[in-house]
Amino acid sequence: MITTNSGMRFHTNIRRLLPILLVLTCASPQGKIAPTTSVPSPGPMASPAEGEKELKDIIEEDSGIQGKFDIPILINDKVEAFLTYFQTEQRPIFVKWLARSERYIPMMKKILKEHGLPEDLVYMAMIESGFSPRAYSRRRAVGPWQFITRTGKRYGLRVDWWVDERRDPEKSTVAAALYLQDLYELFGSWHLAAAAYNAGENKIVRAMVKNQTEDFWEMSRSRILRRETKEYVPKLIAAALIAKDPEKYGFTGIEYEAPVVYETIEVPPSTDLRAVAKACGVEYGEIKALNPALIRWATPPTSSTFTVRIPPGTAEMYARKFPELEASSKITMVRHVVLRGETLSEIASEYGIGMEALRQINGIRNPKNVRAGRELVIPLPGLVSDKKIKEFAKMHEEKEAKIIQGRRQARPPLSVSPDGESFLYEVQEGDTLWDIAQRFEVSVYDIRKWNRMGRYRRTIYPGQKIRIFGAVPSRET
């Protein structure tokens, strides 16, 4: 079993799937999965003789092709269909993929090699995303290797409101290498490992059991695999063939991007990336391009320091200039007390930030459950002056005063007790215990005690009478 430092890995699945594979193995008369030819026949009705002829033709025409690759390469009608597709209908897109490929391929191949994997698996990132860190699929898979959140986290990638390491070409390649190691350990075939990367390992195991074969091309003739998975391996092979010899397939004059290079620095928490760019003497866009995993305008506020990539040769300038900017480069955090009737979206709009930011930093699962009286932490983007902070505070105070004044005018008559020491308040629509306590300058704890409520009771209803002790307020207050 391959072991890594990534914590919970694939081993649970392997232990769960091995009994299935053993059943499949025992089902064959020879005590193993029934073998099939490594080259599929031209069609479902092809005879063994036709299959042998096709294999002979391929060997004669491309006798040296496998020597150029470290993954199994097979040219059949499905691969040829994708070769044609990339050369015609998909040509403009494929040109972009080729141009971008050299920015990341050297780094990705190095990581794959360090993990003992075939370097040509790098072309999976080409068909997954076109080597784009910003790629996002309809299934919410993200980054050059198209990880969904669950799988990304399983293989050590950080995914939260501040950071999404699925977008990091280097870290996501390490995660992909670990995942592919596990898939190959399970299936013993790079074709099946690639198919499982697309469909999930359970789906491939079911296809193996149903079709009594461990040959990808054979099982791809059945209906158990989705069309996308059936096409995944031939698409990978076609992309690898073209990318390794683009001129042979008519792709000439490609303007390849230079390989990405950078140096790293340790940046304090809650640091605006624009300040980092200014200290390095470069544009903000350059810093963002080198750090696609940083999906906000700043480094996370939760860690002591954060490693940031900067253009080569700028670390010395950063070290010299950043101390002058550090005091003004932090994200400003302000506190906001939720008023009765306020919604999370309204609060986010007032401060000019996204509602998702408020939810993440304040640990709010359901925005509808944010009650009056709760304190929220508001992250203000960029360099915010003291004057601006005071403006926010004044705006909040004025809004609170208007709400209180409106409630006072709508307050119902009070029923005073005979001894004059308490009165009854009739609960109105939308009231909370916190609202009532604030109006009459008492505590929620006292209200619960006076009315024999449970210690943690929060629910009250319109028309309910609540006894308040203390000086009876006038009708105008």
| One domain for residues 82 and 178 | yes
Flag whether 5 is in a domain: no
Q: Which residues contact 300 (CB under 8 A, 6 or more apart)?
A: 160, 162, 163, 269, 270, 306
Last residue of a domain, one of 328, 346, 378: 328
| One domain for residues 300 and 364 | no
Token couple for 158:
């950080």
Q: How far apart are CA 10 and CA 352, in angstroms?
A: 42
Please report, for the domain that includes residue 365, its CATH number. 3.10.350.10
Torsion of CA 111, 114, 118, 123, to 10 degrees: 0
| One domain for residues 230 and 104 | yes
Flag whether 2 is in a domain: no
How far is Cα of residue 452 from the mean position of the Cα atoms in its chain?
48
User: What is the number of domains present in the chain?
Assistant: 4
| One domain for residues 121 and 244 | yes
Token couple for 295:
């999906």
| One domain for residues 35 and 178 | yes
pLDDT tens string for the chain (477 positions)? 333 343 344 444 444 555 555 444 444 333 333 333 333 333 333 333 444 444 444 444 554 666 789 999 999 999 999 999 999 999 999 999 999 999 999 999 999 999 999 999 999 999 999 999 999 998 889 999 999 999 999 999 999 878 999 999 999 999 999 999 999 999 999 999 999 999 999 999 999 999 999 999 999 998 889 999 999 999 999 999 999 999 999 999 999 999 999 999 999 888 889 899 999 999 999 999 999 999 888 888 776 899 999 999 999 999 999 988 876 666 666 778 787 778 888 888 888 777 877 887 777 888 877 877 777 878 775 555 566 667 777 776 766 666 555 555 555 555 555 455 677 888 877 778 887 887 777 888 888 888 888 766 767 888 888 888 864 444 443
| One domain for residues 345 and 439 | no
Domain of 358 in residue numbering reads as 332-392
Q: How far apart are CA 468 and CA 464, in angstroms?
A: 13
Flag whether 399 is in a domain: no
Distance set, CA 449 to CA 2, 414, 420, 443 (Å): 62, 20, 19, 10
Q: Of the candidates 260, 273, 266, which has an alpha carbon nearest to the alpha carbon of residue 307?
A: 266
| One domain for residues 32 and 75 | yes
Residue 353 pairs in a beta bridge with none
Q: Between 169-187 and 11-27, two packed helices, what is the crossing angle to 10 degrees?
A: 30
Last residue of a domain, one of 275, 297, 328: 328
Q: What pLDDT shows up at residue 21?
A: 52
Residue 250 neighbours by CB distance under 10 Å: 11
Flag whether 400 is in a domain: no
| One domain for residues 312 and 346 | no
| One domain for residues 145 and 182 | yes
Last residue of a domain, one of 283, 306, 328: 328
| One domain for residues 66 and 208 | yes
Please report, for the domain that includes residue 240, its CATH number. 1.10.530.10
Flag whether 474 is in a domain: no
| One domain for residues 177 and 215 | yes
Distance set, CA 68 to CA 32, 65, 71, 157, 243 (Å): 31, 6, 9, 33, 12
Flag whether 403 is in a domain: no
Q: What pLDDT shows up at residue 287?
A: 96
| One domain for residues 224 and 180 | yes
Q: What pLDDT shows up at residue 331?
A: 67
Flag whether 49 is in a domain: no
